[in-house]
Structure 1
Amino acid sequence: MSQTKPAIPFQSVVMPEALQAENRIQFRCHQDISCFNACCKRADVTLAPYDVLRLKRRLELTSTEFVRQYTVPFQMDGDGLPGIKLKTDENGTCLQLAGDAGCGVYTDRPTVCRYYPLALLALREKDSPTAEERYSLVREDHCKGHEEPREISIQYYRAEQGCEDFDAHNREWYQLVLKKKSAGPTVGQPPQTSLQLFFMASYDIDTFRRFVLSENFRKTYALPDGFYAEVEQDDEALLAFAFRFLRQVLFGERTVQEVADAWDQRVAQRREVWDARKQAEIERRLAAEDRKYAEGGDGVCAE
């Protein structure tokens, strides 16, 4: 059985047991616990796409502004698949920590923060096309929540922490990352343009929207007018399309129908542009030569 943890950044010990939703854990975090905010002061939070969407809206920023101001990049695999983490200060404290009051964006906090002290795992049997979600328990010395006298099933803990909505929006992205990691060298390293598209579609949704609404995109892909009206206004709908589009970009799956002969048309258009540029350059050089001779250059004496 292969394992991957596409959304789990924890550096602490993860218990090897793969738990299921009906398993119970002993844990409770609350404002009066002695370690309150300790995890936020040693933050290592990997962000999934829906996390970015929620946080950029909460902070009233574009996705581009949010990624630039509040995240740091890292590579999720040996091929350079891009990931991002929440930025911290020089001491490792999350920038969203609002002092003793706790998380300043609590209702929109990322998936990793909601799951803690659980790690979300994607487990896939060999040769199986789908992965199943399992959970591992994270124990860190600073966390006293494990000592609290409360038992709760993982199913109810996830519901209590609002994980289900985040998982629903991120699940297909997790599957993409899992497929990329599981494929290994058989797929080969994606070209740089594919990695750039992955970053844009995963994290910079506002830039991806401009890309999708562009004239060139409309000419390339056969999508109904209603689609463009929807994704222009609806972040979640655009995010769902982004994952669909990435399947085509990363794995060559025909998830988005192209306009007939769209590629040949693009090649022809580019050839016309290059031919025009080449002709303009030839004319510029001839004009420069004419001026040089008219001015007596290149050893020619003007009478």
Structure 2
Amino acid sequence: MSIEESRPKVNESRRFGDFFALLKPRVMALAVFTAFVGLMAAPGATDPATAIVALATISAGAGAAAALNMWYDADIDAVMSRTCHRPIPSGRVIANEAVALGLLLSVLSVATLGILVNWLAAALLAFTIFFYVVVYTMWLKRSTPQNIVIGGAAGALPPVIGWAAASNQIGVESLVLFLITFLWTPPHFWALALFKVGDYGKAGIPMMPNVAGELSTRRQIFVYSLVLAPVGLLPWASGFATGVYGVVSAGLGVGFIWYAWKLLASRSDDKNPARALFAYSILYLFAIFATLLIDIVVTRAVTAMGS
């Protein structure tokens, strides 16, 4: 038997799946969607080729940040039930492969976005990757219960990047979209932390329930919901969305407050309200941005027909 025949065969499709998992595709999809809405909301027509390049590079940048996050967090991922089956702690991908993939995608995504689209969007993408990996992952996550509050800025920047890719500027409207996502992030992740509090305790991560207690966390989630609901109306209030968006956004905001109130009023040993709020928060952000996207497309189509 030859040396080649004696080597164990590698399932290439499985290897691809393992590397793809490093990119956190579900998180990437949400980032790309909000970037797409930011791109579509920007004034003026965007060349389809430019839009494709922008979204592809934002996807790659988001995946790069995720891969570097998984590389650095492999030690704590290994002790948490939610993350122990990720590619690195499970041994399917070695740490050096993950960091190499993350660095390569970081350089390629930023350079391609800068060369083919514009350097403002590229600079914002580079800052987002740096902020998520260095500021959030390497510093805040293990040092302060405000980790997700400050670190949430990275996840809130994709619509600003999308807007910049389309217009080569940062509009006030894109900052409104940033603010919605930024205020959404703490209640979303704290809801997760409430029913995974044991995991974070084992890993030594100072999430809010582990540091301030579950009651304090539930109170803070409720306060955030009271702030988030009216902020969700800002696209309508500031004039770049119609009343239809305003009505839908108001309903979604009331729903968020309702789930946060149920969580606040629940018993400490009942984790179901936290799970329900976590699930609703995902629906909320997707629905807010989807409604805005539909509103923008329909309004422009009606305007074009009338001109």
Give the TM bin, normalised by the shorter chain: under 0.3
Q: Which has the higher relative contact order, 1 or 2, with Cα contacts under 8 A spaced 6 or more apart?
A: 1
TM-score computed with the length of structure 1 as normaliser: 0.26
Structure 2-normalised TM-score? 0.26
Judging by fraction of residues, say which structure has more helix: 2
